[in-house]
């Protein structure tokens, strides 16, 4: 089928993906814009996974201050080259992630950072909730796993839905930039400070 330039431009504006990637995704999706967006996101995640082992010795540290100086965030995002680190699009990514952290207050960077003690406590709470609903023991663990996925989504930065586009997680946002730049990109660390908090999380 024919894919016109306006469709390609619209998909590029929505995703930031290269023109040729947008065109091939639209062809694969038979012109369905929403489906093409999903295809690009999946390909971005796949591309990111392939590059995940590559060294990231460059990058940028960004800061974001919100709510009249009441909340502040510093975040380090790493990449492979100084050239990419200095691009306006990479700097925008750093700013957007810092702003997201300020708003969403993630407790952990990723699932691997969730301690066994926290995980065990959450699972036990979920088990008690499910049993209190009168669910049979055979399905308790399955429901607990589902609730655990929601816990990750709410508390782990890379699993959280991006505040500027809730159809995309922070992990998928980073993956889309990996696909675009052809470099490994990773959120290395962050710190969020709130006036009056006893301990700043880092």
Residue 199 lies in a domain: no
CATH number at residue 22: 1.10.8.10
Residue 136 confidence (pLDDT): 83
- Residue 189 pairs in a beta bridge with 76
Do 9 and 86 sit in the same domain of this protein?
A: no
Do 169 and 98 sit in the same domain of this protein?
A: yes
CATH number at residue 96: 3.30.479.20
Do 25 and 81 sit in the same domain of this protein?
A: no
Residue 162 lies in a domain: yes
Residue 202 confidence (pLDDT): 42
Residue 52 confidence (pLDDT): 64
Residue 25 lies in a domain: yes
Residue 161 confidence (pLDDT): 96
User: How many structural domains does the chain have?
Assistant: 3
Residue 185 three-state SS: coil
Do 105 and 62 sit in the same domain of this protein?
A: yes
Residue 118 confidence (pLDDT): 94
Do 100 and 162 sit in the same domain of this protein?
A: yes
Do 177 and 101 sit in the same domain of this protein?
A: yes
Which residues span the domain enclosing 87? 58-109+156-194
Residue 119 lies in a domain: yes
Residue 201 lies in a domain: no
Interior/surface letters 44-80, b for 16+ CB within 10 angstroms, e for the rest: bbebbeebeeeebebbbebebeeeeeebbbbbbbbbb
Residue 196's region, left for phi above 0, alpha for psi from -120 to 50, else beta, is left
**Total residue count of the chain as it appears in this document:** 202
Do 63 and 134 sit in the same domain of this protein?
A: no
Do 19 and 88 sit in the same domain of this protein?
A: no
Residue 164 lies in a domain: yes
**Structure pTM?**
0.71
Residue 161 three-state SS: strand
Q: What is the pLDDT along the chain (202 residues), one digit of tens a residue?
A: 678 888 888 887 777 666 777 888 888 889 898 888 888 777 765 566 666 667 678 999 999 999 789 999 999 999 999 999 999 999 999 999 999 999 999 999 999 999 999 999 999 999 888 888 888 887 888 888 889 999 999 999 999 999 999 988 999 899 889 888 888 899 999 999 999 887 644 4
Residue 202 lies in a domain: no
Do 104 and 160 sit in the same domain of this protein?
A: yes
Residue 19 lies in a domain: yes
Do 139 and 162 sit in the same domain of this protein?
A: no
Do 122 and 140 sit in the same domain of this protein?
A: yes
Do 149 and 174 sit in the same domain of this protein?
A: no
């Amino acid at each position: 089928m024919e894919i016109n330039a306006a469709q390609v431009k619209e998909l590029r504006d929505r995703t930031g993906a290269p023109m040729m990637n947008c065109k091939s995704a639209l062809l694969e999706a038979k012109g369905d814009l929403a489906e093409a967006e999903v295809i690009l996101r999946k390909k971005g995640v796949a591309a990111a996974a392939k590059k995940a082992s590559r060294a990231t010795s460059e990058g940028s540290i960004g800061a974001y201050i919100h709510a009249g100086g009441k909340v502040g965030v510093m975040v380090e995002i790493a990449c492979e080259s100084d050239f990419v680190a200095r691009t306006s699009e990479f700097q925008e990514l750093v700013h957007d992630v810092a702003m997201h952290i300020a708003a969403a207050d993630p407790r952990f960077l990723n699932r691997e950072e969730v301690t066994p003690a926290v995980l065990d406590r959450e699972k036990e709470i979920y088990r008690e909730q499910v049993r209190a609903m009168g669910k049979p023991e055979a399905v308790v663990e399955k429901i607990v796993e589902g609730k655990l996925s929601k816990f990750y989504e709410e508390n782990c930065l890379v699993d959280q839905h991006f505040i500027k586009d809730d159809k995309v997680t922070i992990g998928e946002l980073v993956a889309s930039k990996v696909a675009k730049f052809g470099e490994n990109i990773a959120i290395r660390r962050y710190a969020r400070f709130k006036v009056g908090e006893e301990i700043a999380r880092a």
